[in-house]
Amino acid sequence: MFEGMDFSKMGEMLEKVQADAKKMQEESANKEFTTKSGGGLVKVTASGAGEIIDITIDDSLLEDKDSLQILLISATNDVLKMVEDDKKLATSKMMGGFGGMPGFGS
């Protein structure tokens, strides 16, 4: 499994992985994800770090608490899933860089 692997460069490789992970984290934090529910009556925006940064609610929902709650939950769940999917994709891309090393990648 480890034939041909130069372990003397392992520290250097780990430093690169840490640097890449930090860069990925910074890039993700600067992204914004937005989703809508109820045909646009509720809009929720989250940062790449998974923090809700904006919520827009159409005035027509202010008198219908039940619908407002349902649409707000739906939009919040959707935007947080978008953030999670983006993190998984970024991690997958980063791990793909190990494909050329024996014992790593595909």
Specify the pLDDT at position 64.
Answer: 96
Identify the residue with better confidence: 96 or 60: 60
Specify the pLDDT at position 105.
Answer: 47
pLDDT, tens digit (0-9, with 9 covering 90-100), for 14-29: 888 788 778 877 877 7
- CA–CA dist 27, 5 (Å, integer): 31
- CA–CA dist 106, 104 (Å, integer): 7
Specify the pLDDT at position 59.
Answer: 97
Specify the pLDDT at position 3.
Answer: 66
CATH architecture of 17-89: 2-Layer Sandwich (3.30)
- pTM for this structure? 0.70
pLDDT, tens digit (0-9, with 9 covering 90-100), for 56-89: 999 999 999 999 999 999 999 999 999 999 988 8
| pLDDT band at residue 12 under the 50/70/90 scheme | confident
- Whether the pLDDT of residue 106 is over 80: the answer is no
**Domain locations in the chain?**
17-89
Instruction: Give me the half-sphere count of Cα atoms (radius 13 Å) on the Cβ side of residue 24.
Output: 16
Specify the pLDDT at position 27.
Answer: 79
